[in-house]
């Protein structure tokens, strides 16, 4: 009985592993491609803070479109502002 249970579990595991997965292809209009992406790491430590600005790219053909010459100000919850 234990041997049959192990064989059934084995085959169920094999079927699950080899199951077909249909990839999700989101329908993203091209007019949303003209968006800015702001990313970075900002902490309350006295160290160098990093923020980068880029433009969004096509999901099917991703690329990093760096934007330079930006003026960035960060505001905290106490009303302080920091220029970068």
pLDDT tens track, the chain, 84 positions: 778 888 888 888 887 777 667 777 777 776 666 788 999 888 888 888 888 999 988 777 888 999 999 888 888 888 888 887
Query: What token pair was written down for 18?
Result: 């080899």
Q: Which residues contact 53 (CB under 8 A, 6 or more apart)?
A: 36, 37, 38, 66, 67, 70, 72
pLDDT of residue 53: 93
pLDDT of residue 33: 67
pTM of the model: 0.55
């Amino acid at each position: 009985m234990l041997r049959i249970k192990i064989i059934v579990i084995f085959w169920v595991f094999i079927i699950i592993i080899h199951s077909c997965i249909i990839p999700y292809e989101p329908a993203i209009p091209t007019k949303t491609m003209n968006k800015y992406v702001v990313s970075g790491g900002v902490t309350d430590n006295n160290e160098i803070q990093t923020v980068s600005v880029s433009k969004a790219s096509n999901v099917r053909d991703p690329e990093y479109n760096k934007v330079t010459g930006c003026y960035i100000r960060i505001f905290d919850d106490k009303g302080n502002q920091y220029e970068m």
